[in-house]
Amino acid sequence: MTQCDLVIIGGGPAGLAAAVAARKQGVEDILILERDGELGGILNQCIHNGFGLHTFSEELTGPEYAARFIEKVQEEAIPYKLHTMVLNITKEKTVTAMNREDGLFDIQAKAIVLAMGCRERPRGALNIPGYRPAGIFSAGTAQRLVNIEGFMPGREVVILGSGDIGLIMARRMTLKGAKVKVVAEVMPYSGGLKRNIVQCLDDYNIPLKLSHTVIDIQGKERLTGVTLAQVDENRRPVPGTEIQYKCDTLLLSVGLIPENELSKSAGIQIGSVTRGPVVNESLETSVEGIFACGNVLHVHDLVDYVSEEASMAGENAAHYIKNKEMYAARKEIPVNTGEGVRYTVPETLDIQRMRSNQTLRFRVGSVYTGAYVSVYLDDKRIQHKKRQVLAPGEMETVILKQEELQKYPKLQKITVRIEEE
């Protein structure tokens, strides 16, 4: 069987940043496995600008942001295989993959970085009644058709879901000559960035209907229309509020789910909120030597944070390969979620292995203004910082200092919570 020090599964922004970081830490033998025909992942179809403000202090389009990292991978001469589908990974870190040139093959890795990203929630997850005519796409599929394959999926469009991809596609379809009639959002607020509401909807006079959802789909061969209705506070349609829209296309932008089939095949523990692997401070999963980063770990709002997190995962994997013994002992302290905090990444932390300044990312459950983000070591509050605004759509961070945690040898738990005062 082929041996490899570090196998990285996925050649999108997370995989690329992890590979470059591991190489900089001295790992010579790295292999990136990518199922698409090119590196860069989903960035290749995100042709709009706004990427990289944090990383490069300039606004890049998705392909440009990807190109910066692809160039680094090429400069470092890190090997990669395209059109390569990973079929299975095991606890023992054997990777089974296939492609046209090599057929089916196994690689024995010393460490693995999971960077498979996420996929869109499909129509089936929404239970919309009606026929199954042509013309219903996930927003990301439509984005690929328009921006890479070069054709338009339809002319008269209704979009369900006001996540960023839905908003971006409302503008994109409009610029390409389609009529976007409405964007419907089941929640009373949009899940997308304010910037996108203004620049993708308001600029083009596309109405956004909050607390609305699709209750019926018409058309047998091709979609001919949809019915929207207002929903009550329990997200149930309110009779009498139905509005009929004639359209040939329905785009769904209704959430993203980390793609963890492979993680599960290795018996990796998956978190119920993030739907990604449960990781420790090193971004190491419940299986020793398998690390995770990017949208396969938890869905990010900005690619800059994906790159940052993936660099950490790459460095940690490099550290693991050289200092395996440090990872065998598991004296990890749980990081608990208090009031208002939906999840944290990492979920556990080892004080010996943690960085001197350890980043902890989390998301809140609802919108807060002027609230405080607090960190408790057991019952002692060590951080209490006021934030202008906290919103579920935005990822938040706190930094924990190793120095400070070392003062608490009997520490049982760390808690992050939102406090009104």
Site for other proteins in 53-82 (CB under 8 A): 59, 61, 63-64, 67
Instruction: Give the shortest CB-7-to-other proteins separation in angstroms.
Output: 26
Query: Considering beta carbons, is residue 49 or 99 the nearer one to other proteins?
Result: 49
Instruction: Give the shortest CB-305-to-other proteins separation in angstroms.
Output: 15
3-class DSSP assignment, residue 42: helix
List the one residue out of 251, 219, 76 whose CA is nearest residue 153: 251
Instruction: Give the shortest CB-78-to-other proteins separation in angstroms.
Output: 18
Tell me how crowded residue 312 is: count the other CB atoms within 10 A of its CB: 21
Contact between 258 and other proteins by CB under 8 A: the answer reads: no
User: What are the tokens at 409?
Assistant: 């040898």
Query: Considering beta carbons, is residue 59 or 75 the nearer one to other proteins?
Result: 59
Site for other proteins in 323-382 (CB under 8 A): 369
One character per residue 164-193, x = contact with other proteins (rule: CB under 8 A)? -----------xx----------------x
Query: Considering beta carbons, is residue 3 or 388 the nearer one to other proteins?
Result: 388
DSSP 332: P
| Site size for other proteins (CB under 8 A) | 31
Contact between 391 and other proteins by CB under 8 A: the answer reads: yes
Query: Considering beta carbons, is residue 49 or 227 the nearer one to other proteins?
Result: 49
Instruction: Give the shortest CB-301-to-other proteins separation in angstroms.
Output: 10
Q: Compute the distance between CA of residue 390 and CA of residue 375 in angstroms, rounded to an integer.
A: 16
- Classify burial at 170, counting beta carbons within 10 Å of its beta carbon; exposed 0-12, middle 13-18, buried 19 or more: buried
Is the four-CA dihedral 123, 128, 133, 138 of positive or negative sign?
negative
State how beta strands 103-114 and 94-99 pair: antiparallel
Contact between 157 and other proteins by CB under 8 A: the answer reads: no
Tell me how crowded residue 405 is: count the other CB atoms within 10 A of its CB: 18
Which residues have a Cβ under 8 Å from the Cβ of 313 and sit 6 or more positions away?
14, 18, 21, 113, 115, 283, 291, 292, 293
Contact between 388 and other proteins by CB under 8 A: the answer reads: yes
Instruction: Give the shortest CB-80-to-other proteins separation in angstroms.
Output: 16
Instruction: Give the shortest CB-309-to-other proteins separation in angstroms.
Output: 20
3-class DSSP assignment, residue 110: strand
Q: Which residues bind other proteins (CB under 8 A)?
A: 44, 47-49, 59, 61, 63-64, 67, 146-151, 175-176, 193-195, 197-199, 202-203, 369, 388-389, 391, 393-394
